[in-house]
Structure 1
Amino acid sequence: MSANSNGSKEGGAVGAEKINTDIVTLTRFLTEEQTKHKEATGDFTLLCHALQFSFKSIAYYIRRSTLINLTGLAGSSNTTGDDQKKLDVIGNDLFIAAMKSSGRVRCLVSEEEEDLIVFEEHPNARYAVVCDPIDGSSNLDAGVSVGTIFGIFKLPRDAKGVKEDLLRPGTDLVASGFTMYGASTQLVITMRGGTVNGFTMDNALGEFILTHPNMRMPKKRAIYSVNEGNSLYWEEPVKEYINSLKYPEKEGGKPYSARYIGSMVADAYRTLLYGGIFAYPADKKSTKGKLRILYECAPMAMVFENAGGQAVNSNMDRLLTVVPQHIHDRSGVFLGSYDEVQKVIDVHKKYAK
């Protein structure tokens, strides 16, 4: 090594790069969380490790998908009428295999499966998982970000491993979150009553690294995200609300910016980071709404509430209190910054009178 003018030794390439040796990986984060709960058995942590593996696997296949011809339709439709992509099928299979092998999951609801999947080989497992393995898959061929949305319920001791065990409000979720497979793989996770934490996949280490601790949403932000192609079918309060954003009444008021990707995970992640509102209201064409309560609306609502935002359905009920009537039940959704969602509620109140 050469000594510089003041006599100190200069490092090579390693010396030049500041290296953070105190990295919080998702594994470390979960272990530290577990120690805070005296009653913890470690089952939930093991389940999260299995989840983590499925996200890494899906991310890997999405990165390689166009190379090995995994995009394009698989020739079958899923339960909700979307044409299935080959990657949807792979994502679903990976997810089921990871949950089954964890030994901690009694049953699983997936958007890709019509019926509840019950793991009879684990009759004493205490958790149920709900998921949309690859949300936004119709965008995959265009290289648009897609994601996985998940929620975890703890089953009561007398649970029989039937659909009725899962027809519960989002307030019963013990944890929820989503992974977004974009330019980088981002994982956002929250526990009931806890903070929201964001992790970024480091491909070199093969680990999720804590990069966004304790995520908090801005209380308000002039951005809205909605498919305006449906505006013909919207109910009057929704039309009035969106118009109020585009044509502000007060002189010199600035209209809101419109940002709509068309993948719920990507739109929600941007809304979580920057603030604003994401909406997919029920309308005259989809009278119940388009997004599924159990594995899209409720998990997202929990993330947004824990980050200081609000989430309501098209009846202006708190989304986390809505009980699905069946496992693929749908709902309208408005979620985002606290004050922005409040504006929607206020417009609907006016019409309710």
Structure 2
Amino acid sequence: MPHRSMTFAKFIIEDQRRRGGPDAELTALLNDVQTACKLIGITVSRGPLHKHRTAPGINVHDEEQKPLDLTANEIMLDTCSWGGKVCGMASEEMAEPCTVPPPHRKGRHLLVFDPLDGSSNIDVNVTVGTIFSILRAPEGDADPTEADFLRPGTEQVAAGFALYGPTTMIVVTLGAGVHGFTLDREIGNFNLTHPDMRVPEETGEFAINMSNERYWEPPVQRYVEECIRGQTGPRGKDFNMRWIASLVAEVYRILIRGGLFMYPWDTRDASKPGRLRLLYEANPMAMILEQAGGAASTGRERILDMVPTALHQRVPLILGSKSEVERIVRYHEAHDRGEDAVFDSPLFNKRSLFRMPAGAAGGV
């Protein structure tokens, strides 16, 4: 069968058959997720034409919560709770996990999601998306607790994200490769258009918010400086910098063109271990990147090995082409060993490469 006529639903069924037998609940849950993504995509596409029922507010992270954040959250909860395939759900927009209300029956899975990643870009019409992760639910009929969601990324059954841009897409992994599906708006199906996606090994791009440079740790400064110096520097080639400020768009670009995305730990608030959420953003994206031949790290630890300590735990995130992630991990290791190197940089001036700014805290 030509892959362009392979729908998302058919692909999930075929994947289950290839891997030893159907998992009807997982298949049905993934179909519920794709339905929710279609509805969110339609809502996003209407932009200011859509009349929201909720007013802006502040979410659990003390961040501005746009009406579309809440609308997307409601769509995901409503669409995925009625089918009896989930035992509980956790969302970036909710302080506590949500249990499946009666009369709906409980399923064998937990769903974790960021309903609208990149929503700060809505006003300027930049690509946004939905990120999701699926875990096995604990045995028994009890409602899941927060502790049931605090599992390392290696225990994810599936992970994916939707893109709402010029085209609406879903990119998904079930633990055996990464595959991309594009929505055929005339028919209403997600069709397989990007089978077996692989992160290109060679890259000439990196993405980071340069306005935070003064807060970065020296290993990150070293990596960026080497890229900026281009052909005249130690890398011996030119790099382009990209920064969309939408994680779904950044990861999709890396899947297509390779590169590195960095939202590292910095010294703006030393009490915060990072900026992105482990459960809702880092874990699902790390699973996708690793399944596509890439890598994801905090700079000091593989993302998928981390054991979460809180529902909304934040972490540094460095992901992309494997060789680039490994390079910046080596720079962190050298820094932690106290190895100094002095360099003269037009960007950072003359300084010890591994000397932290005065008053900055070390470590993540």
**TM-score, normalising length from structure 2?**
0.87
The alignment status of 1:92 with 2:73, answered yes or no, reads: yes
Aligned to 2:351: none
The alignment status of 1:304 with 2:285, answered yes or no, reads: no
* C-alpha distance in structure 2 between counterparts of 1:74 and 1:202, whole Å: 32
Task: Give the 3 Å change call, closer, same or farther, for CA 220–94 of structure 1 in structure 2.
Answer: same
Question: Could you tell me how far 1:219 is from its partner in structure 2?
Answer: 1.1
Aligned partner of 1:174 among 157, 170, 190: 157
Contact 1:106/1:120 (<8 A) preserved: no
Unmatched 5+ stretches in structure 2: 338-364
Contact 1:334/1:341 (<8 A) preserved: yes
- Post-superposition CA distance 1:20-55 (Å, at most 9, x none): 897101011112122224453401000011001100
Q: What is the SS of the residue equivalent to 1:266?
A: helix
Aligned to 1:281: 264
Contact 1:276/1:337 (<8 A) preserved: yes
Contact 2:43/2:50 (<8 A) preserved: no
Aligned to 1:239: 221
- Post-superposition CA distance 1:290-330 (Å, at most 9, x none): 1000010000000000000010014x211001111111000
* C-alpha distance in structure 2 between counterparts of 1:251 and 1:338, whole Å: 19
Aligned partner of 2:275 among 271, 290, 305: 290
What is the number of residues matched between the two proteins? 331
* C-alpha distance in structure 1 between counterparts of 2:315 and 2:222, whole Å: 20
Task: Give the 3 Å change call, closer, same or farther, for CA 350–22 of structure 1 in structure 2.
Answer: closer
Question: Could you tell me how far 1:157 is from its partner in structure 2?
Answer: 1.3
Contact 1:220/1:338 (<8 A) preserved: no
Aligned to 1:226: 208
* C-alpha distance in structure 1 between counterparts of 2:120 and 2:44, whole Å: 13
* C-alpha distance in structure 1 between counterparts of 2:235 and 2:108, whole Å: 57
Task: Give the 3 Å change call, closer, same or farther, for CA 21–278 of structure 1 in structure 2.
Answer: closer
Q: What is the SS of the residue equivalent to 2:55?
A: strand
1:348 partner amino acid? H
Question: Could you tell me how far 1:86 is from its partner in structure 2?
Answer: 1.3
Aligned partner of 2:6 among 16, 24, 27: 24
* C-alpha distance in structure 1 between counterparts of 2:190 and 2:204, whole Å: 31
Instruction: Show structure 1 runs of 4+ deviating over 6 A.
Output: none
Unmatched 5+ stretches in structure 1: 1-19
- Post-superposition CA distance 1:143-178 (Å, at most 9, x none): 000000000001231475101001010000000010
Aligned to 2:199: 217
Contact 1:312/1:334 (<8 A) preserved: yes
Q: What is the SS of the residue equivalent to 1:247?
A: helix
Task: Give the 3 Å change call, closer, same or farther, for CA 177–251 of structure 1 in structure 2.
Answer: closer
Question: Could you tell me how far 1:244 is from its partner in structure 2?
Answer: 1.2
Aligned to 1:10: none
Question: Could you tell me how far 1:340 is from its partner in structure 2?
Answer: 1.0
RMSD, aligned α-carbons:
1.9
Question: Could you tell me how far 1:281 is from its partner in structure 2?
Answer: 0.4
Task: Give the 3 Å change call, closer, same or farther, for CA 21–261 of structure 1 in structure 2.
Answer: closer
Contact 2:73/2:115 (<8 A) preserved: yes
- Post-superposition CA distance 1:169-196 (Å, at most 9, x none): 000000001001000011100012x010
Aligned to 2:182: 200
Aligned partner of 2:317 among 333, 338, 342: 333
Task: Give the 3 Å change call, closer, same or farther, for CA 340–90 of structure 1 in structure 2.
Answer: same
* C-alpha distance in structure 2 between counterparts of 1:251 and 1:230, whole Å: 23
* C-alpha distance in structure 1 between counterparts of 2:18 and 2:3, whole Å: 24
Aligned to 1:60: 42
Contact 1:198/1:212 (<8 A) preserved: yes
1:132 partner amino acid? D
**TM-score, normalising length from structure 1?**
0.89
* C-alpha distance in structure 1 between counterparts of 2:236 and 2:4, whole Å: 47
Q: What is the SS of the residue equivalent to 2:56?
A: strand
Contact 2:181/2:190 (<8 A) preserved: yes
Identity %: 37
Farther off after superposition, 156-165 or 46-55:
156-165
* C-alpha distance in structure 1 between counterparts of 2:146 and 2:3, whole Å: 46
Task: Give the 3 Å change call, closer, same or farther, for CA 263–22 of structure 1 in structure 2.
Answer: closer
1:293 partner amino acid? L
Farther off after superposition, 36-45 or 256-265:
36-45
* C-alpha distance in structure 1 between counterparts of 2:105 and 2:185, whole Å: 36
